[in-house]
Chain A
Amino acid sequence: MKITKILTTAALALGMATAVIAGSHSEKTKVGFVYVGPVGDGGWTFEHNNGRLAVEAEFGDKVETVFVESVPEGADAERVMTQMALNGADLIFTTSFGYMDPTINVAAKFPNVRFEHATGYKTADNVSVYSARFYEGRAVQGTIAGRMTESNIIGYIGSFPIPEVIRGINSAYIHAKKVNPDVTFKIVWAYTWFDPAKEADAAKVLIEQGADVILQHTDSTAPLAAAAAAGNVIGFGQASDMAEFADGPRVSSIIDNWAPYYIERTRAVMDGTWTSVNTWDGIAQGMVGIGEITDRVPADVKAEATALKDSIASGDYHPFTGPLKKQDGSDWLAAGETADDGTLAGMNFYVEGIEGDIPG
């Protein structure tokens, strides 16, 4: 009897203590981040983490951020999000495509917690989606790649065959082809976002098969390291600047800049003005940045790429402008027509000229 009583008292005390802790926490806005890779990947997750640090810098002690890195896409992600929500997070950013269903599932259980899912397309009252128009950067990359290749073979390391990646391949191909009609793409699917060993193997194989430009849609710097080892091969920073390879193979990069968006959304939660939105920003809004084009690129190519970037930024040019056909030869866009966001968001076909099938 006595023991039971002691235990009950202890449990009560513990409960009260927890309530006090939770109470003191609620003054701060708590923002959680779920990462697919380690923050030290030097690419995708690294930039999301920079966004998190920018939120901390902006709001100081009015905000508390937490993050969990290297969270597998799937059931584990749901567990991590649930734990964050239970620990009092007000806003949770889930930063990979594969977190889409887990985010929707967990959001349904916590209607008072706001979720922001990157690169997905499912929304709810408390779930926003946001992404960047990486394909705008791919257009600039494709132009440089098409001009720079001497073997006319461009290697492309794809992660998963999802619309975001296919869009990038199409955009890079269209613009490489435009400046160099002889160009061909060799595509290897790594089936991972972050696995330096696999990415390095894929890059080496593409180089062995004659590619002298490597484009990657995976997150590590391993393909650039492989390009550096091969010598006469160039590549691009992916998701982050990857400037540590700038004196070697890296000639430019696509930089994801999430900081302004993360700050804006955190402020919306603080002000109570947060609503579910669907954001898809590009070069114009600064969400997609083009890293410095190095001197390895001739001045005229650099000028051409910069002009393309500026015309995309000003809205004069859309990277998917007709006439364009699909891979099977059927018509897609008439001359002068531009692709609508719906088609782009669900893109599941190659444009005419790319060889091979999209794994399905």
Chain B
Amino acid sequence: MDLSSINPILLLASLMVAATPILLAAIGELVVERAGVLNLGVEGMMITGAICGFAIAVETGSPVLGFIAAAVGGAVLSLLFALLTQFALANQVASGLALTLFGLGLSALLGQGYVGVKPPSTPQLDIPLLSDIPVLGPILFNHDPMVYVALGILAATWAVLKYSRMGLVLRAVGENHEAAHALGYKVVRIRVLAIMFGGACAGLGGAYVSLIRVPQWTEGMTAGAGWIALALVVFASWKPWRVLMGAYLFGGVTVLQLNLQAAGIAIPVEYLSMSPYIITIVVLVIMSTHRSGAPASLGKNFHASG
């Protein structure tokens, strides 16, 4: 038992890396849900993004093209969900679950030839000057570019939802699609775009796992990250900055429990392994006690015939 062997600077730095995949997926799902659509297929879109990104990065040798392909792959898969729920008016919960199962199977099929292959490495982004700052440098400014892309997407999402007309319309569609329709907004079109955004973000999150965090391809390698992202959105009361906090909390405890184990802390490993899930849920439940509610039209299908 030697707590001094845990380096807090490296711990915080790896926390940011561990949180990035769920952060990306959760932002995407947040936008989808704010538009009034419940897409439970996050896990399926993530794993599809993971293999699309991995395959394209391996074939082209470019991680950047890989990430673009991952976003496209996730978005294309989410179109299937959009088709089912927005045009065929199928049940959103069932369609989302089906999307996850389909994504897991599809990715396993696509990934047949890629097991055990080494992907091209994504360079660390050493920001000159900033990364030399003691303590803050290694924590904040010494990561791969995707960590900052994820934070950028989060900030942009927050700003657009809060301050722009586009965000207002999106929220209106999510709160009351009948009223939004009466005002002349294209409810279905807006929702399809939101679903595609969610798919692209989930795909990026998946590719982050397969291209940077591991980096390797294995079937089912996202291992439930999509479900964590879904839970984060709910417990964060559909607020972007709380999603960030939840993601960092989850990533932090995930990294910390391995650190404690390596430091020889005498807590049974089983408790340590479940701790990220329990702590994240407990904290977010406490935070959301004042019930800032879900979008009013969440999960309800819309048809102009009303």
**Docked CA distance A229–B213 (Å):** 11
Which of the 9-residue segments B36-44, B261-269, B289-297 touches chain A?
Answer: B261-269
Complex contact A209–B262 (CB within 8 A): yes
Complex contact B266–A357 (CB within 8 A): yes
Q: Which residues of B contact A205 (CB under 8 A)?
A: 14, 255, 258-259, 261-262
Complex contact A208–B7 (CB within 8 A): yes
Q: Which residues of A contact B280 (CB under 8 A)?
A: none
Q: CB of B79 within 8 A of chain A?
A: no
Q: CB of A101 within 8 A of chain B?
A: no
Nearest B-chain residue to A153, judged by Cβ: B5
Query: Which residues 183-209 in A have Cβ within 8 Å of B in the complex?
Result: 186-189, 191, 194-197, 200-202, 204-206, 208-209
Q: How far is the CB of B52 from chain A (nearest CB, A)?
A: 18
If A208-B11, A210-B5, A220-B216 touch, whether A197 touches B263 (CB-CB below 8 Å) is no
**Docked CA distance A189–B118 (Å):** 25
Partner of B216, one of A39, A46, A225, A356: A225
**Docked CA distance A222–B221 (Å):** 12
**A-B residue pair count with CB separations less than 8 angstroms:** 90
**Docked CA distance A179–B118 (Å):** 35
**Docked CA distance A357–B18 (Å):** 27
Nearest B-chain residue to A204, judged by Cβ: B14
Q: CB of A289 within 8 A of chain B?
A: no
Q: Which residues of B contact A244 (CB under 8 A)?
A: 118
Residues 206-219 of chain B, each 1 if its beta carbon lies under 8 Å from chain A, else 0: 00010001111011
Q: Which residues of B contact A208 (CB under 8 A)?
A: 7, 10-11, 14, 259
Q: Which residues of A contact B218 (CB under 8 A)?
A: 38, 194-197, 220
Residue tally, chain A, CB below 8 Å to B:
36
Complex contact B258–A356 (CB within 8 A): no
Nearest B-chain residue to A208, judged by Cβ: B10
Q: Which residues of B contact A195 (CB under 8 A)?
A: 218, 221, 223
Q: CB of B6 within 8 A of chain A?
A: yes
Q: Which residues of A contact B268 (CB under 8 A)?
A: 359
Complex contact A225–B258 (CB within 8 A): no
Q: CB of B116 within 8 A of chain A?
A: yes
Residues 204-234 of chain A, each 1 if its beta carbon lies under 8 Å from chain B, else 0: 1110111000000000111001000100000
Q: CB of A76 within 8 A of chain B?
A: no
Complex contact A155–B262 (CB within 8 A): yes
Complex contact A196–B221 (CB within 8 A): yes
What are the nearest 5 A-B pairs in CB distance? A40-B115, A40-B116, A205-B258, A356-B264, A208-B10
Give 27 pairs: A residue, B residue, CB < 8 Å, sorted on A: A38-B115, A38-B219, A41-B116, A42-B116, A46-B116, A155-B262, A186-B264, A188-B261, A196-B218, A196-B221, A197-B213, A201-B254, A202-B258, A205-B14, A205-B258, A206-B262, A208-B10, A208-B259, A209-B6, A209-B7, A225-B214, A225-B216, A356-B266, A357-B266, A359-B268, A359-B269, A359-B270
